[in-house]
Amino acid sequence: EVQLVESGGGLEKPGGSLRLSCLVSGFTFSHAWMSWVRQAPGKGLEWVGRIRSKGDGGSTDYAAPVRGRITISRDDSKNTLFLELDYLKIEDTAVYYCATAGPHCGGDCGRWGYWGLGSLVTVSS
């Protein structure tokens, strides 16, 4: 059974930093492209960024609202995806989901059939 489990959320202060983790089980994590998606309270879904598998170069893409403040990384030996977000703003308050198409996604790694339950991050003074 595929499982994605986020952790690391909580209350953070404006200007601070957050680090989220996503532990993946049930498939070969190293082959998967991984994304982070967030959802502010009562709002829609917003893609935050992604990291390719190392076999596909391991590079990252980030959304404009977080570019320059975000780092997505992975530890394939621990089946874990990370998100670091610095210089936090009130508007970064959201549930953060990790999501993936799974391994061997072929020509479309941006269709996410697997999601975590989400981790709530609240940015408030």
Partner 1 sequence: DIQMTQSPSSLSASVGDRVTITCRASQSISRYLNWYQQKPGKAPTLLIYAASNLQSGVPSRFSGSGSGTDFALTISSLQSEDFATYYCQQSYSSPLAFGGGTKVGIK
**Between 13 and 91, whose beta carbon lies closer to partner 1?**
91
Can you give the binding site for partner 1, defined by CB under 8 A?
A: 35, 37, 44-47, 50, 61-64, 97, 108-113, 115-118
**Between 11 and 45, whose beta carbon lies closer to partner 1?**
45
What minimum distance in Å lies between the beta carbon of 110 and partner 1? 3
**Between 8 and 16, whose beta carbon lies closer to partner 1?**
8
**Between 108 and 125, whose beta carbon lies closer to partner 1?**
108
HEC assignment per residue over the chain: CCEEEEECCEEECCCCCEEEEEEEECCCHHHEEEEEEEECCCCCEEEEEEECCHHHCCCEEECCCCCCCEEEEEEHHHCEEEEEECCCCHHHCEEEEEEEEEECCCCCCCCCCEECCCEEEEECC
What minimum distance in Å lies between the beta carbon of 82 and partner 1? 19
What minimum distance in Å lies between the beta carbon of 30 and partner 1? 21
